[in-house]
Amino acid sequence: MSVNEWLSCFICGSGGLGVYGRVATDAIKGLMQILFIGGTGNISAECAAAAHKRGHQVLVLTRGRHELPSEYRAIQADRRDRAAMRSALSGIKPDVVANFLGYELEDVRLDVEIFQGSLRQYVFISSTTVYARPARRLPYREDSDLGNVWWEYAQKKLACEQWLGERYSADGFPVTIVRPSHTYSKLWVPNPVSSSSYSFAARLERSQPIFVPDDGKNPWTLTAAADFAVGLVGLIGNDQAVGEAFHITSDEVLTWNQIYAEIASALGVITPSIVPVPTEFICQVAPQMTGTLKGDKAQPGIFDNAKIKRFVPEFRCVKSFREGVRQSVAWLREHPSQQNLNPQVDRLIDDVLAAWRVAFTVHPIHR
């Protein structure tokens, strides 16, 4: 009988080591208490579920607007309210923190203040948008050039990464950087305009036109959150991963034209009306698209995942986009209240297409 089995039997039996025994066996099994800052979102919900499935104890800090599985411990606070964060987290000593809500230096500074000295690992969810665009060399590797001149979101993520890197070097703060690329769950039909809203898909359902940046031939990677979660949870508690950065993406590369065709097919739309519009023109009409297009989705998005596969051998993306987008469409049609329709997305697409029609005579491609 192994030490693990012996301890399990002892705890289940009348001897009752109680909570200390459970902590001891969890430690032997490599099980940890993991705090997810944001844990019910598009990516984080799958990661929390995967961690729980592994047997880890899952704590989730949110504002409490989304339902949380009863097996998790809920902690309620608004991330932006520093006093509320301190109060909600006082007395909580997780082994690992996975922060899905770090967008500003202030966010990660607060975490370091709260958790410095008591953590085994702090996982910062950054973004592959931190890589320089256009890429000097593809596919992107973790040591590719950094610095995205087009997108403030990416610049802030990089500032967080670099500050945390300094804390690691100076004070041993145990940070692991994880960079998702475009990652979707059943909550999203991902697209280049607004993935968190169903409006893009709804336009296709209503036979309304949409635009595709440039000629639609830009190669792009979409990753299913359930696949991403295997990589992320595999890094948790891996001491070798501390002080390292990883991206975690699928190896399936599609053009936007192929992605649009898969979305239309999943929606059952036979002749989608798709208008190619130059990225430059889109950004002139809708400057708010500059970061997400010039700094990301209108640039080749191809990643070398050798590093995450080396650290987490079980990591493999098994869900094709064809399968994933069908699951999203099916789920969102069953749960219309989750579709998050956004009139601003319609307005943006209408404005770009109206301006393009005025500038040029266009002929929609019927696929």
Ligand X SMILES: NC(=O)c1ccc[n+]([C@@H]2O[C@H](COP(=O)([O-])OP(=O)(O)OC[C@H]3O[C@@H](n4cnc5c(N)ncnc54)[C@H](OP(=O)(O)O)[C@@H]3O)[C@@H](O)[C@H]2O)c1
CA distance 260 to 243: 38
Which residues, numbered 1-30, are part of the site for ligand X (CB under 6 A)? none
In single-letter form, the type of residue at position 7 comes to L
Which range of residues in 5-13, 58-66, 323-331, 355-363 is near ligand X by CB under 6 A?
58-66
Question: Does position 38 bind ligand X by CB under 6 A?
Answer: yes
CA distance 259 to 325: 9
**Least gap, CB of 221 to ligand X (angstroms):** 10
**Least gap, CB of 81 to ligand X (angstroms):** 8
Question: Does position 150 bind ligand X by CB under 6 A?
Answer: no
**Least gap, CB of 182 to ligand X (angstroms):** 4
Which range of residues in 33-41, 302-310, 318-326, 335-343 is near ligand X by CB under 6 A?
33-41
Of 2, 14, 19, 65, the one binding ligand X (CB under 6 A) is: 65
In angstroms and rounded to an integer, the radius of gyration of the C-alpha atoms of the chain is 22
Q: Does the N-terminal peptide bond of residue 190 adopt cis geometry, omega within 30 degrees of 0?
A: no
Which range of residues in 89-97, 179-187, 270-278, 286-294 is near ligand X by CB under 6 A?
179-187
CA distance 355 to 274: 15
Of 7, 32, 34, 43, the one binding ligand X (CB under 6 A) is: 43
Minimum CB distance to ligand X smaller for 131 or for 356: 131
Place of tokens 């949380």: 68
Of 26, 29, 64, 302, the one binding ligand X (CB under 6 A) is: 64
Of 33, 127, 144, 197, the one binding ligand X (CB under 6 A) is: 127
- The count of residues interacting with ligand X (CB under 6 A) is 22
Which residues, numbered 264-323, are part of the site for ligand X (CB under 6 A)? none
Question: Does position 215 bind ligand X by CB under 6 A?
Answer: no
Minimum CB distance to ligand X smaller for 61 or for 352: 61
Of 52, 54, 63, 319, the one binding ligand X (CB under 6 A) is: 63
Which residues, numbered 94-123, are part of the site for ligand X (CB under 6 A)? 100-101
Closest CA to 153 of 104, 207, 80: 104
Closest CA to 247 of 360, 124, 94: 124
Written as six digits, the tokens of 365 are 């491609």
Q: At residue 304, what are phi and psi to the nearest 5 degrees?
A: -90, 115
User: Nearest to ligand X by Cβ — which residue?
Assistant: 41
Q: Which phi-psi region, left, alpha or beta, contains residue 13 (left: φ > 0; alpha: ψ -120 to 50)?
A: beta
Of 183, 191, 221, 292, the one binding ligand X (CB under 6 A) is: 183
Using CB atoms within 10 A of its CB, is residue 310 exposed (0-12), middle (13-18) or buried (19+)? Answer: exposed
Query: Could you tell me where the DSSP H helices lie in 252-342?
Result: 256-267, 279-285, 290-292, 306-311, 321-334
CA distance 134 to 131: 9
User: Under a CB-based contact definition with an 8 Å cutoff, are residues 304 and 141 in contact?
Assistant: yes
Question: Does position 40 bind ligand X by CB under 6 A?
Answer: yes
Could you list the residues that contact ligand X (CB under 6 A)?
A: 38-44, 62-66, 78-80, 100-101, 125, 127, 180, 182-183
